[in-house]
Amino acid sequence: MVPRQIPGVGWFLVTTPTWPHRRGEREVTLLDGVVVRLRRLKKSDIDAVIALHRQLDDREQYMRFFVAHPPYLEKVAEKLVERSATQYAIGAFEDDALIGVANYVRSQDPAAAEMAVAVAHHNHLRGVATALLRHLADVAGRKGIRYFDADVLADNNLMLKVLRDPGWRCTKRFDGPVLHVRIDVSTMDGGSAAPNSGRRATPGECAP
């Protein structure tokens, strides 16, 4: 079991991920003790993907897309449910409800991929994004990807917390209000990512 902290609530022990019978799926226990299922998205998920992104509030949409009210959510959803060798997207499902999505798209660098994550409005601070990114990193690592690249707005505190708390190793550089982050995929597995908000960050970690 792995310790996890919910701000304002305290520490909980979270079970390590277990693989169910269906290949490519994983069950994980979130910070609040709820078990969710992680699996690769498919075409029949498109309506749920669109709905998840539409219900994000203005700030959440701006943090994710760098623009409020993006007019291309259907196109985004189509790409996410498209299965190809260059991109991979997974969803987190609580019962049958989609509560989060993470994906990567391979870049020109064969060792790297651009990654992104979005979590439904009422499901923040439950560990959904961290669980999704760990699973995505596991998939990516088995496909030869060594680094995840991400562009994060400097005031996107929720995403910065997701990157900082597990202690994943990364490099960072600012370009105006945008933080460019490159994360070492090999440091993202569950055994090495237990957050400890009371410790001092070591060099290379995704600290502010």
pLDDT of residue 69: 86
Sheet holding 35-40, edge to edge: 26-29, 35-40, 87-94, 97-106, 112-119, 147-153, 178-184, 170-175
Q: What is the distance between the alpha carbons of residues 41 and 103, in angstroms, rounded to a whole number? A: 10
Domain ranges of the chain: 35-192
pLDDT of residue 19: 43
87-139 pLDDT, tens digit per residue, is 999 999 999 999 999 999 999 999 999 999 999 999 999 999 999 999 999 99
Please say if the pLDDT value at position 9 is more than 50: no
151's enclosing H/E stretch is: strand 147-153
Tokens coding 31: 């910070």
The answer to whether 132 and 90 are in contact (CB under 8 A) is: yes
Please say if the pLDDT value at position 149 is more than 90: yes
pLDDT of residue 7: 45
Please indicate whether residue 45 or residue 7 has the higher confidence score (pLDDT).
Answer: 45
Overall pTM surpassing 0.75 (yes/no): yes
16-68 pLDDT, tens digit per residue, is 444 444 566 899 999 999 999 999 999 999 999 999 999 999 999 999 999 98
152-202 pLDDT, tens digit per residue, is 999 999 999 999 888 899 999 999 999 999 999 999 974 323 344 444 445
State the CATH architecture for 35-192.
3-Layer(aba) Sandwich (3.40)
